[in-house]
């Protein structure tokens, strides 16, 4: 692939993850005995960039790591995943982003992230990666870096004629400036409840209702509802819902990022939103039912 090949450009987080497996996630003040642990390279941005590359498109990452052991591992992981990473800045001193994820016996998890170098993303990173902001490319954003940095990246891509996809995770208030730059919003049930101001989003019908509310603010709104499926609504246009694929759950870790990466890759290749969501749904189902 050349510099002229359309690309999924991911601007966002890189975390070195510590994965802990236990019988259950501890309650406040409780200690539980785990059965295993292992390291993994992640961060929503890094995972989504690797997922897009795996889906067969050109994938480029804009991010920041420290010059520490975690940072070196994160860069190696991007290279191994065929992700262009010359615009991942290496910061002298400080610490790379990291997280600890605790899994229970049912394959679900809770996590704590420490943002570290991800908080250093700024206008300099956008300027240095100017060649990636152009018509035909899709920018993927998440909420694991400062809103101000996301605004700068989104504005650069929109000015160049590209598209902006925001995975608004984890849940937080979005600035009005960022909202106006987003072409495709993707949220899970918890994030949909916060942004749409609805009650619980547990069923596919509830996800559809939330997508409809959010489509008044975003050209395309996508709401994932875990085991129920995924719903979407286009502003003043079509809407639809795709039931979840029945699988035997092994682990939910990374499912959302796999979904985003494949969705962005499909849209980059010109797939209509319903077809792109179907492919992303299939990819996420395969991931959560696989032993990793």
**Rounded Cα distance, 269 and 83, in Å:** 17
The catalytic residue among 127, 147, 257, 274 is: 257
Count of Cβ atoms closer than 10 Å to residue 28 Cβ = 4
**Rounded Cα distance, 90 and 14, in Å:** 12
Catalytic annotation present for 257:
yes
* Helix ranges restricted to H, the chain: 44-54, 69-80, 123-128, 147-160, 176-179, 189-196, 204-214, 255-268, 273-288
Closest Cα partner for 105 from 194, 35, 12, 16? 35
**Rounded Cα distance, 151 and 180, in Å:** 10
Angle formed by the axes of helices 189-196 and 204-214, to 10°?
Answer: 40
In DSSP terms, which residues pair with 178 in a beta bridge?
A: none
> Where in the sequence numbering do the catalytic residues fall?
257
């Amino acid at each position: 692939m050349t510099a002229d090949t359309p690309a999924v450009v991911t601007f966002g987080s890189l975390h070195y993850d510590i994965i802990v497996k236990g019988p259950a996630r501890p309650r406040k003040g409780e200690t539980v005995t785990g059965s295993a642990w292992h390291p993994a390279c992640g961060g929503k941005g890094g995972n989504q960039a690797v997922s897009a590359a795996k889906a067969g498109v050109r994938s480029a990452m804009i991010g920041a790591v420290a010059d520490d052991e975690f940072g070196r591992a994160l860069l190696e992981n991007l290279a191994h995943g065929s992700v262009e990473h010359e615009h991942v800045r290496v910061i002298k001193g400080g610490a790379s982003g990291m997280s600890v994820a605790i899994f229970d016996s049912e394959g679900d998890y809770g996590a704590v992230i420490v943002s570290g170098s991800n908080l250093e993303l700024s206008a300099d990173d956008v300027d240095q990666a100017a060649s990636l902001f152009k018509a035909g490319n899709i920018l993927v954003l998440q909420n694991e870096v400062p809103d101000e940095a996301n605004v700068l990246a989104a504005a650069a891509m929109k000015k160049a004629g590209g598209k902006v996809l925001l995975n608004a995770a984890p849940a937080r208030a979005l600035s009005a400036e960022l909202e106006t730059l987003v072409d495709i919003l993707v949220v899970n049930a918890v994030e949909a409840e916060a942004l749409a101001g609805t009650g619980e989003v547990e069923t596919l019908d509830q996800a559809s209702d939330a997508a409809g509310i959010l489509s008044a603010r975003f050209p395309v709104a996508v709401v994932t509802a875990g085991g129920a499926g995924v719903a979407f609504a286009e502003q003043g246009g079509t809407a639809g819902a795709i039931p979840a694929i029945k699988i035997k759950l092994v682990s939910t870790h990374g499912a959302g990022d796999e979904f985003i990466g494949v969705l962005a890759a499909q849209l980059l290749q010109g797939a209509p939103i319903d077809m792109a969501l179907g492919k992303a749904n299939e990819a996420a189902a395969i991931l959560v039912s696989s032993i990793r």
